[in-house]
Structure 1
């Protein structure tokens, strides 16, 4: 049932029950009076009309958005005004119909006025409080939607980032291969094309299969091997049960790029990079190990902050990211994330970005 139908049902039922209850009490004491019965019907119509006018006013001028003192003043004034109107209409009617029963009531007006004000106050408070709570709920919902839109826009930017230096270096490496090894150059062009395509598609997708992300990483590492040759050794090990797990696109590639740029490339003789995935306590655990040390350079933080922020946007407090010095010359980046479901988008949390940066 729509809110409008519920409103009118409550209006008609509420005023009918209230007025007819008073009519039945009167009839039980004084006997049935057809004229007073029609007066009661008029009161039902008048009560519905006046309270509906109040509803139109409160919605038209958005009273529930006012500060509480101003809202309370308007509610109180409305009760008094509507009470005066109901009393002004009822006293003449009842005097004409029930004169013999009202002759001993010197404070007739004030008795009617207090009675109607009590009934109107109950209605007005009920409706105003409901409308106030409903408006605040909608306002909170609008804020959540705005925040979600902003975070989604931010996530699109983060997903689509690809280091332009990598593209430049890859093209230079391919150019050197064109004459020396045309077949390898052709393969490298295909690999670069795959990476660029995935980068362009990243802003359209929140997540991708892990196997797809690993293929992008493999293409990236093969292109880097053209540049570093034997100075770069890598290995990819993925648990088969994790291959269809949903992960943020280009996130793994960003971490791998960070490991090479701020780890392997800083070592004179080169080094290694290893990517492994497994399931651990219902979470996907991704480890990226590479040659390198932490804390000796100020560069490399953008990729790490990017990863932490994207995990926060998608998973909130349910995901974690850290980077540590695993051994003397081995840095390890670890990402833990749950299975992505629609429910996770309704929660917010923090994934603290690592304060250390890989070098």
Structure 2
């Protein structure tokens, strides 16, 4: 049931239950015949229609003039005035209608008015109280939703900025490497241009996507490493050990490329003779585990700070934005000549 249908259902049902129960109280006090019962049922219909109409008008005024945003003192005062007015109108309708079967002429007029107002104030006051509390709860819920949307928008904007900052600088080295091949090895140069084009396309796509499949990300890594091999030739050795069941898992775009780029810059590039990069993926305890091992050293504080530079900190920030605290990322010295980076990501969904 939609909120609008639920509102009208509870409006009609609530007022009907109250006034029908009021009739049952009359039966305990006065003997009624069939004619009086018909008259009472007519009174119930009038009262239900009046109660629904008046409280609905209050609701329209409440929403139109944004009473929910008023200071609490002003809100309470206005609600009390509304309760009095609705009660007064209901009493003014009920007293004449009850003359038909209750001898109210012999009663004290002041006491009669007080009695009617007390009896009718209770349901009106409860209705207004419930509606005001519901409005406060709904307003709080709407604010929470808007806050979440705003935070999500800010995070997405920040993530786009971070992705944009990660990619471009390796392009210059790649272009220089390709230029050196144009005359001597034109076929390799053509392949290099294709691979660079693929990398640039991936970079553009990454600005429009929050995640991509690991398979797509590894294709980007393959193109990137092929370009770097033009520069380093036999100095760069690569190895991949990819579990097939991990290929469809979603990962942040260009994340691995950033880590591989960092490994080359701070590992292979500084190696005296040659260096290696190894990428391994598997699933452990319901998490995707990505391991990147490369030639390098982190034993000196200076080297550690350098290796944990912009690319690493940027990657950490992106993972925090996407996964909160549901991820693990660490980089450490595995042995004397090998640096190991490990990422543990939740398996949210897969690409079939």
What secondary structure is seen at the aligned counterpart in 1 of 2:210?
coil
- Root mean square deviation of aligned Cα: 2.5
Distance 1:101 1:164, change over 3 A: closer
Q: Which residue of 1 aligns with 2:302?
A: 296
In the TM superposition, residue 334 of structure 1 has moved relative to its aligned partner by: 0.7
In the TM superposition, residue 233 of structure 1 has moved relative to its aligned partner by: 2.5
Where do 5+ consecutive residues of structure 1 fail to align? 343-359
2:324 to 294, 312, 316: 316
Taking the TM superposition and a 5 Å limit, the aligned residue runs for 1:1-359 are 1-32=1-32, 33=36, 37-94=41-98, 96-97=99-100, 100-101=103-104, 103-105=106-108, 107-294=111-298, 295-297=301-303, 298-299=305-306, 301-341=309-349
Residue correspondences, number: 341
TM-score by length of 1: 0.85
Kept in 2, the 8 Å contact 1:234–1:272? The answer is yes
Q: Which is further off, 51-60 or 288-297? A: 288-297
What secondary structure is seen at the aligned counterpart in 1 of 2:84?
helix
Deviations along 1:275-305, one digit per CA (max 9) or x if unpaired, are 2222222221111122223331554522212
Q: Which is further off, 75-84 or 175-184? A: 75-84
In the TM superposition, residue 206 of structure 1 has moved relative to its aligned partner by: 2.8
Q: Distance in 1 between matches of 2:337 and 2:81?
A: 77
Deviations along 1:29-63, one digit per CA (max 9) or x if unpaired, are 32333655544433222212211111111111222
What secondary structure is seen at the aligned counterpart in 2 of 1:97?
coil
Distance 1:302 1:181, change over 3 A: same
Deviations along 1:250-283, one digit per CA (max 9) or x if unpaired, are 1111100011112322344453222222222222
Distance 1:73 1:292, change over 3 A: farther
Where do 5+ consecutive residues of structure 2 fail to align? none
Q: Distance in 1 between matches of 2:104 and 2:39?
A: 14
